[in-house]
Structure 1
Amino acid sequence: MSFRMKILALPIAWAFITGMARANEVQVAVAANFILPLKAIATRFERATGHHVTLVPGATGKLYAQINNGAPFDILLAADSETPARLEREGMAEPGSRFTYATGRLVLWSSRPDLVDAKGDVLRGNGFDHLALANPRLAPYGMAAQETMQALGVRERLQARLVQAENIAQAYQFVASGNAALGFVAYSQIHQGGKAIPGSHWLVPTRLHSPLRQDAVLLNRGRGNRAAEALLKYLKENQTTGIIRSFGYE
């Protein structure tokens, strides 16, 4: 082989090596409400397969914008079904790869054990100063919270007391830290290991808001990535769905 041929072959060799390395890694954009169960799932997945998982949590709308701007994600686990479908329509995701991995529940929660009643009537009173929720324009759980307040007829009277978070994780932090007396969060954030964490809560009836069906999709960058394909398959296995249910998802 001539010197020139060796130089031409070098980028090919590096591309091959890089491709082999990336095949064992998967970059997952995940809705903030699902980060805790996905951490538990990813730990077991890595142990079982030897693949490496990198998680990037955020509001679904913000993750969509990042994907649209070329963020290097292989998979999206959204907090809704519309965003993965939109990515398919716009040619940014693998057609036919989309499926529902969980159905979420909205909950009104306070770290105070005596604040939230079993029917959510606290929303009609004046026993709190601030109510946290995720940004409805970016987070499906925030939109569900807005729909719930509208259905209860309290949206207008609560407007001045709302504290808007970037995503559901930040909404939870507002309540946990005491910066907001109560807030609309994901049931998975307060329901761990089959039981609720300390505080008081009202599990919002699903009739009060649009369904929180959460879909996964393989993004274009994940095509041919064995780790990405393996993780999507792993999410459908019985042991994994058991973990998902233990965090309060349906």
Structure 2
Amino acid sequence: MACLALGAACLQAARADSVSVAVAANFAAPMQKIVAAFEADTGHKVTVSLGASGKFYAQITHGAPFQVLLSADEATPARLEREGKVVANSRFTYATGALVLWSAQPGLVDDQGAVLRHGRFRHIALANPKVAPYGAAALQVMETMGVATALQPRWVLGENIAQTFQFVASGNAQLGFVALSQVMEGGRMAQGSAWRVPTSLHAPIRQDAALLLAGRDNAAAIALLRYLRSEKARKIMHDHGYDT
């Protein structure tokens, strides 16, 4: 009788499912809000694991039970698709990221990135370029500017972009390359100083999502990928500095 009274709510609960999602660390903040909205709107439950895209590739190829991948690049999902670990035609770009050189110290980073050539600092943080797309973009920026070799002795490598951000936020590195989404919310930059790196200095950071084979019959997995294209999700992404 209670379910008859509640109608659609009980029907939603009966159909509710859960999904395990591997999410690139740079997307942590918007993903938290998207998950909250998605769960409220659909009744599905989402378990999020954060990390570097390269690490997720290794885990998925060794049988990790993720059902959806939200990568920080397009290469990793494409590679998994070629290897038969992604549902055919499920891959799409859910966001395009932006790279910033950021310091928790006001005034340290100028708006042209000249600090990379002339600044006095002991350490500069970046995500490991071998496994983290934002780290690869940071390396490409330094190479394009001709400062990579000179700065390499001062690098502090994060396992992923989240750890890289913590290095800078804590002051263990005076500045570092992080995702714009980590220092922006609601269209405003966080405290400190930053240079938004021009996209001409690195390849586009297209972030692709994919339905993994383990999620092909999972209603929550399919619904979540659909939800990422919704206006509500897109607004959250824009507020955190992503293009969609």
2:147 maps to 154
1:8 maps to none
Structure 2 counterpart of 1:229, which letter?
I
2:161 maps to 168
Structure 2 counterpart of 1:131, which letter?
I
Q: Structure 2: how far apart are the matches of 1:168 and 1:238?
A: 26
Q: Which residue of the other structure, out of 64, 85, 98, is the alignment partner of 2:78?
A: 85
- The 3-state SS of whatever aligns with 2:106 is coil
Q: Structure 1: how far apart are the matches of 2:160 and 2:224?
A: 24
Q: Structure 1: how far apart are the matches of 2:78 and 2:152?
A: 32
For residues 19-98 of structure 1, what are the structure 2 equivalents within 5 Å?
24-98=17-91
For residues 214-229 of structure 1, what are the structure 2 equivalents within 5 Å?
214-229=207-222
Do the aligned partners of residues 22 and 225 (structure 1) sit closer, same or farther apart at CA in structure 2, a change above 3 Å counting? farther
> Please, which runs of 5 or more residues in structure 1 have no aligned partner?
1-19
> Please, which runs of 5 or more residues in structure 2 have no aligned partner?
1-12
Structure 1 residue runs of 4+, over 4 Å off?
20-23
Structure 2 counterpart of 1:196, which letter?
M
Structure 1 counterpart of 2:110, which letter?
D
Identity in percent: 59
TM-score norm. by structure 2 comes to 0.93
Residue 168 of structure 1: how far off its partner (Å): 0.3
Q: Which segment is superposed worse, 228-237 or 121-130?
A: 121-130
Residue 185 of structure 2 is aligned to residue 187 of structure 1: no
8 Å contact kept, 2:16–2:42: no
1:118 maps to 111
Structure 1 counterpart of 2:129, which letter?
P
How many residue pairs get aligned? The number is 231
Q: Which residue of the other structure, out of 237, 240, 249, is the alignment partner of 2:242?
A: 249
Residue 78 of structure 1: how far off its partner (Å): 0.3
8 Å contact kept, 1:22–1:225: no
Cα deviations by residue, 1:124-170 (Å, 9 ceiling, x for unpaired): 12411100000000000000000000000101110111101100000
Q: Structure 2: how far apart are the matches of 1:179 and 1:57?
A: 22
Q: Structure 2: how far apart are the matches of 1:32 and 1:21?
A: 32
Q: Which residue of the other structure, out of 168, 173, 178, is the alignment partner of 2:171?
A: 178
1:135 maps to 128
1:232 maps to 225
Root-mean-square deviation (CA), in Å? 1.3
8 Å contact kept, 1:191–1:247: yes
Larger Rg: 1
